[in-house]
Structure formats: structure tokens, C-alpha cells
Amino acid sequence: AGTDFMKRVWQSLQAIPYGEIRTYGEIARSIGNDKAYRAVGQANNRNPIAILIPCHRVIGSTGKLVGY
């Protein structure tokens, strides 16, 4: 369970193809909220099923792994 926003983030994460990555900002833009990159990180942190919702495919804007 999560908020509607979190569910949109998780759906966007599931759409990332195997072997590809996205930034938190790209995920925020993909769900229509350009400035919500920090909230995307929070939703990523609350991912209930990491094996099915690939939160590990999201990186920081510098191209590096960052904590969520």
C-alpha cells in the first residue's frame, strides 16, 4: 500500500527496461511532476517489493548511486 503518488512512481519504475537506468528527475518528469525528484526518492525508499519494482535502476543526476 502507498499513496497514489507512490503508486505512480512504482509503475514508472516497473517500466524501466532491464539493463537501463533512470535518474530521480527523469522519473519525476515521467509522472508529470518535474520538481518531485526528492519525493520520487522517498517513494523509492518505501518500495514494498524491490524484487518486482526495480528501485535499484534509479540513480542520481550525476550518474552515481545515491541513498534513498
Is 45 a residue of the active site? no
Find the catalytic residue in 55, 56, 63, 68. Answer: 55
**DSSP-derived secondary structure for 4-62:** HHHHHHHHHHHTSPTT--EEHHHHHHHTT-TT-HHHHHHHHHT-S-TTTS-GGGEE-TT
Catalytic residues: 55
